């Protein structure tokens, strides 16, 4: 198997420039030290907006809904409900367990939601209307007590109406006007107005990403993600016009987005490149999409589908489209991706906007070790154990011996004090356990003398 790079791009990276790191550290410190007033000052500085109330009122939410057309509200409601249905089904297939692993030894797990989740809803070049459903709905499905949402202001100080309506419909309990790194810092450390949360999720620009990195540890985060990506595997049955359209759909997000074609047919690859150049002038987003394709577009010619799958697994893209004659034939071979789109008629736009799967996904090879936002993002898998006197007696010699090896003396005594039967004393002797003070291996328990 081999591959030929017809058009290559520079390697992408999640490394954050030092000036961004330093700037974000100053923003986080400002919010931690000055709270609400720090957020207002940063909003004036970065957004050019003066706003006294940081929390969005019910009246503002109602006004946003009224400002939308019936068709706009129906479209947003459809996305929210599709996302809810998918994640409810996803949640229904998760469960904890409890069983006896030995006589008197019961072990298990419980799936427990975090109590307070904070989601960031980005503004940016185009306020993403589907974004609130992707971060808020999974949290509500699993039973998070309070979902706090932050979004940047428009020039008049309000949140973009469609986004605000979507946040409300998705189930946000509290919505605040705060953008960028200051929003992340506010949710991480809390201010007089904006409550602190246990976990922060949601996409954003490089400042948001860096802020999430800096507050991680104090709170949980979903993952760090860069600009969007799409990798399309195409064989000789693919339509170059559709392939080009789907590449450009991701290219229009950001000049730093990545659009990658892995083709098994040279004619399809070359025709797709021609189509990209033909379609670009007709796009309202030609400037952004064109710069992205020029700087970050890639075309790779693979010998066969096995080689194409190997390339895809190496790239571990955010979105992976399989536009082949039998797309399901590659399903078992593909394992590094944020979300998989099978067939000529499953473009990324459906997953991004309406079908119900989540569009908040890992980029820049993060898919090699993490998936996107899902119901487990807001769940903690907690373990528990319950032991009877007999169960404790059975396991105690083994635990005590491990403690002896480690030199954790108090732990050893804690284990030894559960040794009761002659059988367990015999086991301890067979393990060459030197008593730490919790048990007399030759006779009765020391505390019972």
378: closest CA among 178, 196, 118, 176?
118
Could you give the 3-state DSSP secondary structure of residue 299?
Answer: strand
Euclidean distance between CA atoms 302 and 262, whole angstroms: 7
Question: Residue 356, Cβ neighbours under 10 Å: how many?
Answer: 21
The H or E element spanning position 386 is: strand 379-387
The tokens of 193 are what?
């107005």
Q: What are phi and psi of 260, to 5 degrees?
A: -125, 130
Euclidean distance between CA atoms 289 and 82, whole angstroms: 29
From residue 184, alpha-carbon distances to 152, 351, 402, 429 in Å are 11, 26, 43, 56
Q: Measured at the alpha carbon of residue 408, what is the angle toward residues 407 and 412, in degrees to the nearest 5?
A: 110
Q: Which residues contact 412 (CB under 8 A, 6 or more apart)?
A: 400, 403, 404, 436, 438
Question: Residue 159, Cβ neighbours under 10 Å: how many?
Answer: 26
The tokens of 390 are what?
């007999």
Given a contact cutoff of 8 angstroms between Cβ atoms, the answer to whether 113 and 91 are in contact is: no
- 210, 252, 275, 318: which is the annotated catalytic residue? 318
- 87, 319, 344, 359: which is the annotated catalytic residue? 319
Euclidean distance between CA atoms 239 and 347, whole angstroms: 13
Reply yes or no on whether 319 is catalytic: yes
Given a contact cutoff of 8 angstroms between Cβ atoms, the answer to whether 169 and 138 are in contact is: no
The tokens of 103 are what?
């006589």
The tokens of 401 are what?
């011996």
Given a contact cutoff of 8 angstroms between Cβ atoms, the answer to whether 212 and 234 are in contact is: no
Distance of CA 314 to the CA centre of its chain: 20
Euclidean distance between CA atoms 142 and 218, whole angstroms: 22
Could you give the 3-state DSSP secondary structure of residue 345?
Answer: coil
Given a contact cutoff of 8 angstroms between Cβ atoms, the answer to whether 128 and 174 are in contact is: no
The tokens of 78 are what?
């459809």
Reply yes or no on whether 4 is catalytic: no
Residues in the chain: 449
Biggest CA-to-CA distance, the chain: 92
Q: Report, as residue numbers or ranges, the catalytic residues.
A: 318-319
């Amino acid at each position: 198997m081999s591959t030929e790079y017809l058009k290559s791009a520079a390697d992408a990276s999640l490394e954050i420039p030092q000036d961004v790191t330093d700037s974000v550290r100053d923003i986080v410190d400002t919010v931690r030290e000055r709270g609400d007033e720090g957020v207002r000052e940063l909003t004036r500085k970065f957004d050019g907006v003066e706003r006294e109330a940081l929390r969005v009122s019910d009246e503002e939410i109602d006004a946003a809904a009224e400002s939308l057309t019936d068709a706009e509200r129906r479209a947003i409601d459809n996305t929210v409900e599709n996302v809810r249905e998918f994640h409810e089904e996803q949640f229904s297939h998760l469960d904890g367990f409890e069983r006896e692993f030995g006589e008197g030894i019961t072990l298990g797990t419980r799936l427990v939601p975090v109590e307070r989740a904070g989601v960031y809803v980005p503004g940016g070049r185009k306020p993403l209307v589907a974004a609130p459903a992707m971060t808020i709905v999974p949290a509500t499905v699993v039973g998070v007590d309070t979902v706090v949402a932050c979004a940047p202001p428009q020039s008049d100080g309000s949140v973009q109406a469609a986004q605000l309506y979507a946040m409300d419909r998705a189930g946000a309990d509290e919505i605040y006007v705060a953008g960028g790194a200051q929003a992340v810092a506010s949710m991480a450390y809390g201010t007089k107005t904006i409550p602190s949360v246990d976990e922060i999720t949601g996409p954003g620009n490089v400042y948001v990403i860096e802020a999430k990195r800096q507050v991680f540890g104090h709170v949980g985060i979903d993952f760090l993600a860069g600009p969007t990506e799409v990798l399309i595997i195409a064989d000789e049955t693919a339509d170059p016009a559709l392939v080009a359209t789907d590449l450009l759909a991701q290219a229009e997000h950001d000049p730093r987005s990545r659009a990658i074609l892995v083709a098994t047919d040279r004619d399809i690859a070359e025709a797709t490149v021609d189509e990209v150049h033909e379609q670009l002038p007709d796009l309202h987003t030609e400037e952004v999409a064109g710069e992205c394709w020029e700087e970050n577009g890639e075309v790779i010619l693979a010998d066969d589908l096995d080689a194409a799958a190997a390339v895809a697994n190496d790239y571990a893209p955010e979105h992976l489209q399989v536009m082949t004659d039998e797309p399901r034939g590659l399903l078992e071979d593909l394992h590094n991706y944020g979300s998989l789109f099978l067939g000529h008629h499953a473009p990324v736009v459906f997953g991004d906007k309406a079908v119900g799967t989540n569009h908040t996904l890992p980029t820049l090879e993060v898919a090699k070790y993490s998936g996107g936002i899902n119901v487990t993002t807001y769940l903690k898998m907690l373990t528990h154990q319950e032991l009877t006197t007999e169960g404790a007696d059975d396991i105690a010699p083994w635990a005590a011996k491990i403690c002896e090896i480690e030199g954790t003396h108090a732990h050893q005594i804690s284990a030894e004090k559960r040794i009761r039967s002659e059988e367990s004393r015999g086991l301890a002797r067979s393990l060459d356990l030197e008593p730490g003070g919790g048990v007399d291996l030759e006779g009765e328990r020391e505390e019972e003398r």
